[in-house]
Structure 1
């Protein structure tokens, strides 16, 4: 398992990337709010996509689109991938959830 400093750095970079993509949206379409270990994306219809740390297991958890998915960092690939082996990648998954909520995908 990776150490806390490495995990924290990877999470900070992931949150920064998602927030930067969300900043490209009109706030009437999508709002982004980050507090501590949680990032919340809220659409005009008040649907939410929540991105949260899971520090004990060094994962990122995403709730949105009727699903809750845990992502683990795969250093060999440099990607956050779902822990069930479904082939889901964190940034693509969040973008797809935002598209279903707002009609527009996140562009990183």
Structure 2
């Protein structure tokens, strides 16, 4: 398991990337809030996508569309991948939830 020194900047970078993409939305369509270890994306319908740290196991957890997915950081690919081996990637999964909630694409800055 990775140590906290490695985990913390990876989480900070993931949160920063998600927030930057969400900031491009009209706040009447999607609002983004960050509180400590959690980012909450709230659609106009009041449905949410929640991205939360799971520090004890060094994962990120995403709740949205009626499911919760845990993501581990994969050093080889430098991506967050679901811990069940379903082939889900964190940023693509969050974008899919946002598309479901808003009907609009979540575009991550380069």
TM-score normalised to the size of structure 1? 0.99
- Map residues 70-85 of structure 1 onto 2, 5 A cutoff: 70-85=70-85
Instruction: Point out where structure 2 has 5 or more consecutive residues left out of the alignment.
Output: none
TM-superposed deviation, 1:104: 0.7
Deviations 1:39-87 (A, max 9, x none): 0000000000000000000000000011100000000000000000000
Superposed structure 1 runs of 4+ greater than 2 Å apart: none
User: Which whole-Å CA distance do the structure 2 matches of 1:61 and 1:38 have between them?
Assistant: 9
- Map residues 91-102 of structure 1 onto 2, 5 A cutoff: 91-102=91-102
Corresponding pairs, count: 108
Task: Give the SS at the match of 1:51.
Answer: strand
User: Which whole-Å CA distance do the structure 2 matches of 1:67 and 1:21 have between them?
Assistant: 22
TM-superposed deviation, 1:105: 1.9
User: Which whole-Å CA distance do the structure 2 matches of 1:74 and 1:21 have between them?
Assistant: 22
TM-superposed deviation, 1:5: 1.3
- Map residues 36-51 of structure 1 onto 2, 5 A cutoff: 36-51=36-51
User: Which whole-Å CA distance do the structure 2 matches of 1:2 and 1:71 have between them?
Assistant: 13
Task: Give the SS at the match of 2:51.
Answer: strand
Instruction: Point out where structure 1 has 5 or more consecutive residues left out of the alignment.
Output: none
TM-score normalised to the size of structure 2? 0.97
Deviations 1:5-37 (A, max 9, x none): 110000000000000000000000000000100
